[in-house]
Amino acid sequence: MARLPLIAAFISALLAVTVPQARAADFIYGMEDAICGHHSVLGAIERGFRHQVTHVPHLPNVGIADFYGARLTRYEPATPYSPIERRYCQANVLLTDGVDRPIWFLIEYGQGFASIGDNVEFCVLGFDRWNVYNSGCRVLR
């Protein structure tokens, strides 16, 4: 009888290692576009854009007023050869000067600071002054 709790503990430890952990994105499985339009992703983009227009010379001092039309354009699942799960998304932004612009962004899971949290890279058409994402934001398309 003393072995039964030991066996149960071993099985639960084995399952904890072999069963993948659920993420917040897993709860909305089948709604991939909702992941691209999630408030935490859009908030990270807004903060990054505000920093960009403030610190990059010769960019207009505008902000993002609204996002619309967020949709998934490409999904790269994690594999043994490429362990980082990536989602590529596209949307449109309405800037505070009244101009609509396309935006492309990438969500990388587990690639935040010190591999804690997720990373969001974005490119608003016309605001990549130093061509970090190539001409016309091609890297994130």
Per-residue model confidence as pLDDT tens digits over 101-118: 999 999 999 888 777 788
Long-range contacts of 127-133 (CB under 8 A, 24+ apart): 127/49, 127/52, 127/53, 127/59, 127/101, 129/56, 129/57, 129/58, 129/59, 130/56, 133/104
State the pTM of this model. Answer: 0.74
Per-residue model confidence as pLDDT tens digits over 10-43: 455 544 443 344 444 444 444 677 899 999 999 9
What distance in Å separates the CA atoms of residue 123 and residue 136, rounded to the nearest whole number? 9
